[in-house]
């Protein structure tokens, strides 16, 4: 007879790994299925092209149906946390109050979530990027903000010992070669493995079949069809992956809100050409963010950032010799991103082949927010004496959210306050897909905090002692 696990966890990113840690720590028998490969500091790809094509879904070229937005999302063990910038921010009252209003979940407040943030942060090395680690790109950012009277703040990252003087932080987005970035590989996933978690990589789940006492998860493992059985299933495949799996598995009929209210924090990249060398590719890639209520209220934030040469060739709207001329001045480029708190909800669907079909309108308020941010960036660079200012003519998204919103109404949401899919209590989701709206703040710390909160709900229901709950865990069937 096939083994029946307590929990099958689909996806190994911010949500899946945090849940795996807390569930295995309480003695649950868990298996994690991850579509991507396992990489480490000795095997991460060594060039930009391979990074994109090997570590991201769709080779880093996933897009909406009309290609107005490009998505980057990790496909590897540890998920987005291995390829992200590890900027870890708590949500403010603007974001959490809106969530409470939309979802009816009382825990969504700065005070209510503090305990979950504290718990997650106690497992991570956190580091504020101090001024002696800044490069010229960050210095220009702060100088421009100061000159125009805007407020900024230092960024906080999950990192241990980056040795920025060695000057290859840019490579971090293709996986950290120093085991400094606090990805799941080094933190929650490593702990879960030590607790006995089984991990199956290169296992792409195709659908979930759901009964009242058991869940069967079908997929392709190293090219062979395989089925995993468990008493409960945690879908932590990231916003697009989780929506896709539920849609493919036929849940839309019973859950009309599935695939609705999709948000993406669209970004506009801006490059300014200076007469002096900036060398934005050296040292800490990002160090400063806007901390100005005027911008927050207008729905955008600004961060200093840069990308590798291949990324720049895609961002600059030029071809041939013109592009070559720009690339020869790579060292003279400063860069800042505009990221918006989007309000124009998109939709996620799958076609008859199970492929994602995503729409994201950005012609109204979202465009207005983006343009308001770009105007400020232009003003800053003009004040700093930039020779030329360029805004990329396409948008991309690093933060996909929603489609399986949390809430009390099965008509307007997909999971209940305890992160169980409405009407299917042995199906649990706590990843980015449960966000009821876009916070306009880096999401991964809150995905982890939500997943910690979800682990408490699950363990309580599962009968393991959490806060004030005393029943014993049930036996696992083999
Ligand atoms: C370049 C980049 C920079 C970023 N920078 C930051 C930052 O600085 N701060 C921040 O807060 N956020 C950042 N993010 C976003 C952040 O990484 C994500 O929001 C976060 O990782 C999402 O967590 P998750 O658990 O929802 O999904 P993920 O971390 O994406 O994990 C989902 C996992 O599920 C797997 N999966 C999907 N479908 C299947 C399937 N069918 N079968 C099996 N496995 C499947 C995927 O391969 C993936 O590993 C960044 C993202 C990118 C791409």
- Expressed in angstroms and rounded, the spacing between residue 239 Cα and the centre of ligand 1 is 8
**309 and 334 assigned to the same domain:** yes
- Could you identify the atom of ligand 1 that is nearest to the CA of residue 431? 26
Residue 132 belongs to some domain of the structure: yes
Q: What is the per-residue pLDDT across 86-136, written as a single tens digit (0 to 9) for each?
A: 999 999 999 999 999 999 999 999 999 999 999 999 999 999 999 999 999
Query: Is 431 touching ligand 1 by the criterion CB < 6 Å?
Result: yes
Residue 235 belongs to some domain of the structure: yes
**157 and 168 assigned to the same domain:** yes
- Expressed in angstroms and rounded, the spacing between residue 255 Cα and the centre of ligand 1 is 24
Q: How many domains does the chain have?
A: 2
Residue 60 belongs to some domain of the structure: no
Radius of gyration of the chain (CA): 22
**160 and 244 assigned to the same domain:** no
Q: Which of 358, 383, 398 is the endpoint of a domain?
A: 398
Q: Tell me the best of 237, 310, 339, 434 to mutate to test the pocket of ligand 1, counting ligand atoms within 8 Å of each CB and taking the most.
A: 237
Give me the pLDDT at residue 466, please.
Answer: 47
**171 and 273 assigned to the same domain:** yes
Q: Tell me the best of 241, 263, 354, 451 to mutate to test the pocket of ligand 1, counting ligand atoms within 8 Å of each CB and taking the most.
A: 241
Would you give per-residue pLDDT tens digits along the chain (478 residues)?
Answer: 689 999 999 999 999 999 999 999 999 999 999 999 999 999 999 988 899 999 999 998 899 999 999 999 999 999 999 999 999 999 999 999 999 999 999 999 999 999 999 999 999 999 999 999 999 999 999 999 999 999 999 999 999 988 877 777 888 999 999 999 999 999 999 999 999 999 999 999 999 998 888 999 999 999 999 999 999 999 999 999 999 999 999 999 999 999 999 999 999 999 999 999 999 999 999 999 999 999 999 999 999 999 999 999 988 999 999 999 999 999 999 999 999 999 999 999 999 999 999 999 999 999 999 999 999 999 999 999 999 999 998 899 999 999 999 999 999 999 999 999 999 999 999 999 999 999 999 999 999 999 999 999 999 887 665 443 333 333 333 2
Residue 384 belongs to some domain of the structure: yes
Strands 424-428, 420-421: parallel, antiparallel or unpaired by DSSP?
antiparallel
Q: How far apart are CA 162 and CA 181, in angstroms?
A: 8
Query: Is 346 touching ligand 1 by the criterion CB < 6 Å?
Result: no
Give me the pLDDT at residue 167, please.
Answer: 73
**392 and 292 assigned to the same domain:** yes
Query: Is 316 touching ligand 1 by the criterion CB < 6 Å?
Result: no
**101 and 210 assigned to the same domain:** yes
Give me the pLDDT at residue 372, please.
Answer: 98
Residue 295 belongs to some domain of the structure: yes
**286 and 380 assigned to the same domain:** yes
Q: What is the DSSP letter of 212?
A: S
Residue 107 belongs to some domain of the structure: yes
- Expressed in angstroms and rounded, the spacing between residue 437 Cα and the centre of ligand 1 is 17
Give me the pLDDT at residue 170, please.
Answer: 86
Residue 44 belongs to some domain of the structure: no
Q: Which of 398, 428, 458 is the endpoint of a domain?
A: 398
Q: Tell me the best of 79, 287, 431 to mutate to test the pocket of ligand 1, counting ligand atoms within 8 Å of each CB and taking the most.
A: 79
Query: Is 436 touching ligand 1 by the criterion CB < 6 Å?
Result: no
Instruction: Map the chain to HEC letters.
Output: CCCEEEEEEECCCHHHHHHHHHHHHCCCCEEEEECCECCCCCCCCCCHHHHHHHHEHHHHCEECCCCCEEECCECECCCHHHHCCCECCCCCHHHHHHHHHHHCCCCCCHHHHHHHHHHHHCCCCEEECCHHHCCHHHHHHHHHHHHHCCCEEECEEECCCCCHHHCCHHHHHHCCCCCCCCCCCCCHHHHHHHCCCEEEECEEEEEEEECCCCEEEEEEECCEEEEEEEEEEEECCHHHHHHHHHHHCCHHHCCCCCCEEEECCCEEEEEEECCCCCCCCCCCCCCEEECCHHHHHHCEEEEECCCCHHHHHHHCCCCHHHHHHHHHCHHHEEEEEEEECCCCCEEEEECCCCCEEEECCCCCHHHHHHHHHHHHHHHHHHHCCCCEEEECCCEEECCCEEECCECCCCCCCCECCCCEECCEEEEECCCHHHCCCCCCCCCHHHHHHHHHHHHHHHHHHHCCCCCCCCCCCCCCCC
**144 and 285 assigned to the same domain:** yes
Residue 57 belongs to some domain of the structure: no
- Expressed in angstroms and rounded, the spacing between residue 69 Cα and the centre of ligand 1 is 17
Q: What is the per-residue pLDDT across 417-458, written as a single tens digit (0 to 9) for each?
A: 999 999 999 999 999 999 999 999 999 999 999 999 999 999
Taking the model in full, what pTM does it have?
0.96
**285 and 151 assigned to the same domain:** yes
**314 and 325 assigned to the same domain:** yes
Give me the pLDDT at residue 472, please.
Answer: 35
Give me the pLDDT at residue 475, please.
Answer: 34
Report the CATH number at residue 276: 3.30.410
Q: Which domain holds residue 295?
A: 128-175+265-398
User: How far from the centroid of its chain's Cα atoms is residue 435's Cα?
Assistant: 12
Helices (H), 122-278: 136-148, 188-194, 238-248
Give me the pLDDT at residue 478, please.
Answer: 29
**381 and 326 assigned to the same domain:** yes
Report the CATH number at residue 224: 3.50.50.60
């Amino acid at each position: 007879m096939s083994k029946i696990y307590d929990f099958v966890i689909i996806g190994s990113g911010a949500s899946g790994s945090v849940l795996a840690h807390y569930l295995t720590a309480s003695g649950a028998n868990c298996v994690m299925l991850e579509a991507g490969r396992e990489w480490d500091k000795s095997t991460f790809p060594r060039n930009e092209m391979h990074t994109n094509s090997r570590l991201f879904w769709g080779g880093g070229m996933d897009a909406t149906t009309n290609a107005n937005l490009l998505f980057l999302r990790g496909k590897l063990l540890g998920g987005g946390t291995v390829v992200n910038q590890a900027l870890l921010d708590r949500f403010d009252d603007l974001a959490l109050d809106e969530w409470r209003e939309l979802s009816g979940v009382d825990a969504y407040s700065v005070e209510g979530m503090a305990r979950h943030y504290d718990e997650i942060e106690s497992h991570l090395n956190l580091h504020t990027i101090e001024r002696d680690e800044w490069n010229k790109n960050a210095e220009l950012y702060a100088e421009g903000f100061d000159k125009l009277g805007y407020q900024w703040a230092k960024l906080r990252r999950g990192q241990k010992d980056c040795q920025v003087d060695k000057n290859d932080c840019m490579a971090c987005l293709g996986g950290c070669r120093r085991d400094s970035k606090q990805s799941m590989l080094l933190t929650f996933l490593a702990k879960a493995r030590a607790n006995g978690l089984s991990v199956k990589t290169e296992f792409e789940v195709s659908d979930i079949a759901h009964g009242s006492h058991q869940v069967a998860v079908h997929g392709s493992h190293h090219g062979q069809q395989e089925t995993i059985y468990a008493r409960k299933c945690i879908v932590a495949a990231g916003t697009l992956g989780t929506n896709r799996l539920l849609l493919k598995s036929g849940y839309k009929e019973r859950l009309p809100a599935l695939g609705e209210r999709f948000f993406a924090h669209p970004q506009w990249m801006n490059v300014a050409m200076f007469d002096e060398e900036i060398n934005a590719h050296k040292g800490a890639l990002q160090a400063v963010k806007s901390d100005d209520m005027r911008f927050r209220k207008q729905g955008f934030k600004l961060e200093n950032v840069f990308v590798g040469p291949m990324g720049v060739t895609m961002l600059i709207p030029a071809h041939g010799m013109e592009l070559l001329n720009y690339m020869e001045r790579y060292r003279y480029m400063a860069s800042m991103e505009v990221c918006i708190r989007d309000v124009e909800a998109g939709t996620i669907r799958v076609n008859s082949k199970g492929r994602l079909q995503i729409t994201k309108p950005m012609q109204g308020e979202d465009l207005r927010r983006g343009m308001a941010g770009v105007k400020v960036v232009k003003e800053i660079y003009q004040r700093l004496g930039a020779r030329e200012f360029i805004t990329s003519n396409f948008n991309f998204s690093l933060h996909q959210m929603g489609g399986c919103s949390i809430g009390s109404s099965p008509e307007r949401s997909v999971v209940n306050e305890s992160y169980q899919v409405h009407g299917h209590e042995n199906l649990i989701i706590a990843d980015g897909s449960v966000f009821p709206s876009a916070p306009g703040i880096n999401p991964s710390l809150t995905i982890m905090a939500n997943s910690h909160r979800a682990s408490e709900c699950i363990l309580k229901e599962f009968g393991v002692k959490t806060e004030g709950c005393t029943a014993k865990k049930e036996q696992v069937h083999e």
